[in-house]
Structure 1
């Protein structure tokens, strides 16, 4: 049995995703006890997660008030916080997990280290240098945050960090029996059309945390009208019990003479709703995460700064819509400055509804729109291009970056990744390989130059080494897969705990040889990929030739 504390200082949706990890810990051993530390304002989401032993909260507003009040010193505010955490500090933990990975959570996890047999995720040492519990922490803290089109999502990375097998979904969210019975009865009535035919229910989430993530109001109304006008479907509008969302509902439903069905639900009641609809259409919201946890098929509309490749839905019966990812920024700061140009139309989304619920092929999409489909592989959930705009360079970088991670951790080849990329043009793949292999060659030369500069003495040699080290670190900014081993190397260098330049040089020499090994793994990845694609291409041509000669 393990006593586990997960520190998650994020918002509602991120709190809900913790349910994946809680579920896996409980499936590993039903006697495990998992507790959460969260901000108090998001406690409603935490109470929605099944199998949580204790929920500890930090009243952020209270401490900020004390901090800003000139009557009290900062020491008083800090002392109040420490007293607030006394129950956690006095408990012996087998695992303290830094889930949110921000500066505050890292300080807190470091504060709890003396009471923990182990920590998962980054923490600080006594000199406030970062300490990694494993190299999966580097993937989470450095690679995913630096690499624009992430090759792996957060949920799968958390499980790798904890050395946990991701458990199949079970009772991951709490439900209320009264709500469940009511939902079954009410939705049974909603399904029946006037002529007695059974219709499929489509939940439509109206809002997101920011307007940048939302479908434009005109398109939303057009989509709802298209669903409502089809005898096969019935739309149900979903909203949280807030004045803001009620106001939006009033405006939207007013377009339909207030004839639409709407459901206002808190988190606990929402679970019963999501379990009884056939499909959810939503932007990036807490509702999306709840539906994904409950296995409800979802069409996610990924707009604004929504972290598509880090936190997209993972249910394989779902689809993710996005504008051409080459035009997107996933930064809140950048998105807040840019004018949003959403190409996704109501017709595009309705085509996805018909595909998921009726099996009808998606024949066309608007220009500049891409659909992704979650699929399973060795690392977890992979976002596979499904339809629409295709940027081969970005997709190959994502997928082969994923395969490099497999090789980096000694997990072996995953041929399903190569097969996925094998759908793209051979010319595009060959061009990508030539470019990346050329960059890898230069990267290797620069690495060997850095190693040679370590062999001499004197200030000129030292300056040459510093210059060569800077050259190696510049690959972190490269827009391609070679950036991944460079980012890992940078994280290792930054984690060095020494102020002595000579001692640092010796440690960096060891890290340079580790980098050399990583570049060899990248070379192996390229070689395996190339052999799979072009040997497969030859086999395809032979098969096609045989079929053509056997035709009457």
Structure 2
């Protein structure tokens, strides 16, 4: 059987977002191997039971106090195993020193994504192209589609995740994301949770997060009325991967910032209410598939760069404090949405998952739609004779080296 290797060494959410690429390669008849960080091996086995998992130590979280001298023996064993497989293709998805080092184990002609060629770090032409597109972050494509498009014959976007449908057993609330300023403080989150709860038949609430967020869960409980707190369970830090999957799979709705648990909910077909602010933007990293809603902070500085400090006193947080948002959550009427927020519903098109405006403003929507058609023609998904020409976009996003090195 033909074999391919996907090297995905980043976080929980990124592993879930590799799904369209995995399914595409399986549909093409490959035996799919996944090289991941050891800390995610149990999750990978749950998400991708038909894949062969190769866990290496790529991050400190996988060392678990054994000392850095334990890293090389573990990794060397996996690297030697790779030499026994004749991989037809290698998909190296991350821009990191470890990824580049791993790519050097293989024939550069077989490596897609990031690779070393004669010691020089290089990217596939698709990655070069999409790095330029990322300059317009409001118009960027979903990360799921970015990785999947490295392969030809992508599986249809509607076949990646189930259409979201409530499972009937309450509301999940993810307490925080990896970047603190992308998450709502508990005093802002609590009223929104109460508003959502008022619209649901099942009143149970499950607080989700890591061990470090258990205290945030306790503080959120203290903000809730006693009767509501009695129906709320703080599971932060108390679930393993299987437990998290079991809990999320039974929910009516998951309220969350941009997190790995959000992508897990989409994977399971559980509706997401995403609360996006700061550097999070729905078209880039929103939940994949049909049936999800994003309440998006829409400041003039959104989305920002998470690695840079905020010089605007996190003004994108202010609309989430407006009591009108609670009213909007209950009524769904656009006139109740406070300024500074826009609401988007997820949809699927020829390219992948996109987000369509439900309330508020989408000042770049027309251009984003045009860029998506441009990308569709670039990938051969659409007929440029019907949707083109794209002279201005071609001049901006194509470079001479694209043709010189073709």
Which TM-score tier does this pair reach, normalised by the shorter chain? 0.7 to 0.9
Residues 298, 342 of structure 2: 8 Å contact kept: yes
The equivalent position to 2:45 in structure 1, one of 40, 44, 47, is 47
Deviation of 1:411 after TM superposition, in Å, equals 3.5
Structure 1 residues 199-243: Cα deviation after superposition (integer angstroms, max 9, x where no partner): xx332222222221111322211122334456745251322351x
Task: Please report how far the alpha carbon of residue 324 of structure 1 lies from its aligned counterpart in structure 2 after TM superposition.
Answer: 1.4
What is the distance in 1 between the residues matched to 2:115 and 2:79?
Answer: 17
Match of 1:122 among 114, 121, 133: 114
Q: Does 1:11 align with 2:3?
A: no
Partner of 2:248: 274
Match of 1:403 in 2: 373
Partners of 1:36 and 1:55 within 8 A in 2: yes
Q: Distance in 2 between matches of 1:35 and 1:19?
A: 13
- How do 1:4-153 residues align onto structure 2 when only pairs under 5 Å count? 4-29=4-29, 32-59=30-57, 60-61=59-60, 81-82=75-76, 84-113=78-107, 118-130=110-122, 132=124, 135-140=125-130, 142-153=131-142
Following superposition, the deviation at residue 398 of structure 1 comes to: 1.9
CA distance in 2 between counterparts of 1:48 and 1:346 reads 40
User: Does the 8 Å contact 1:16/1:45 carry over to 2?
Assistant: no
Is the 2:20–2:145 contact (alpha carbons within 8 Å) kept by the matching residues of 1? no
**Aligned equivalents of 2:2 and 2:44: distance in 1?**
20
2:177 paired residue among 189, 194, 208: 208
Higher helix share: 1
1:45-90 CA-partner distances (Å, limit 9, x unpaired): 323313343222222439999xx99xx9xxx987985455211233
What's the TM-score once normalised by structure 2's chain length?
Answer: 0.82
> Residue 213 of structure 1 contacts residue 304 of structure 1 at CA under 8 Å; is this kept in 2?
yes
Distance 1:120 1:352 in 2: 45
Cα separation, partners in 2 of 1:81 and 1:228, compared to 1, 3 Å = closer
User: In structure 2, do the counterparts of structure 1 residues 361 and 2 end up closer, same or farther at CA, with 3 Å as the change threshold?
Assistant: farther
Which of residues 349, 361, 366 is equivalent to 2:338? 366
Contact preservation (8 Å) 2:157, 2:348: no
Contact map agreement 2:281 2:296 (CA 8 A) in 1: no
TM-score normalised by length of structure 1: 0.62
CA distance change for structure 1 residues 303 and 485 in 2, over 3 Å: closer, same or farther?
Answer: same
Q: Structure 1 residue 221 and structure 2 residue 190: aligned?
A: yes
| Distance apart, 1:369 and its partner CA | 0.8
**Per the alignment, in what secondary structure is the counterpart of residue 161 of structure 1?**
coil
* 2:377 is aligned with 1:488: no
Choose from 348, 354, 359 the match for 1:376.
348
Distance 1:410 1:16, change over 3 A: closer
How many corresponding residue pairs?
A: 391
Structure 2 unaligned spans of 5+: none
- The answer (yes or no) to whether the contact 2:328–2:337 under 8 Å persists in 1 is no
Aligned counterparts of 1:339 and 1:417: Cα–Cα separation in 2: 42
Report deviation, 1:365.
0.8
Paired with 2:386 and 2:258, the residues of 1 have a C-alpha distance of: 28
Q: Distance in 2 between matches of 1:370 and 1:34?
A: 39
Question: Closer, same or farther in 2 for the Cα pair 1:167/1:129, shift >3 Å?
Answer: same
Whole-angstrom CA distance in 1 between matches of 2:61 and 2:357: 46
Distance change in 2, residues 1:310/1:354 (3 Å) = same
Q: Is the 8 A contact 1:299 1:318 kept in 2?
A: yes
Paired residues of 1:152 and 1:310 also in contact (CA < 8 A) = yes
For the Cα contact (< 8 Å) 2:129–2:398, is it kept in 1? yes
Q: Hey, what does 1:239 align to over in structure 2?
A: 208
- For residues 148-202 of structure 1, the C-alpha deviation after alignment (integer angstroms, 9 at most, x for no partner) is 32342221232221113225677979xxxxxxxxxx8xx6xx6xxxxxxxxxx33
1:7, distance to aligned residue in structure 2 (A): 0.4
Contact 2:7 2:93 in 1 (8 A): yes
- The correspondence of residues 143-292 of structure 1 with structure 2, limited to 5 A, is 143-167=132-156, 201-229=170-198, 232=201, 234-240=203-209, 242=211, 244-255=212-223, 256-257=225-226, 258-262=229-233, 264=235, 265-292=239-266
SS at match of 1:37: strand
TM-superposed CA distance for 1:297, in Å, is 1.3
* Larger relative contact order (Cα-Cα within 8 Å, sequence gap ≥ 6): 2
How far the C-alpha of 1:284 sits from its partner, in A, is: 0.6
**Residue equivalent to 2:358:** 386
Q: Secondary structure at the match of 1:386?
A: strand
- Tell me how large the CA RMSD over aligned residues is: 3.7
Q: Which structure has the larger Rg? A: 1
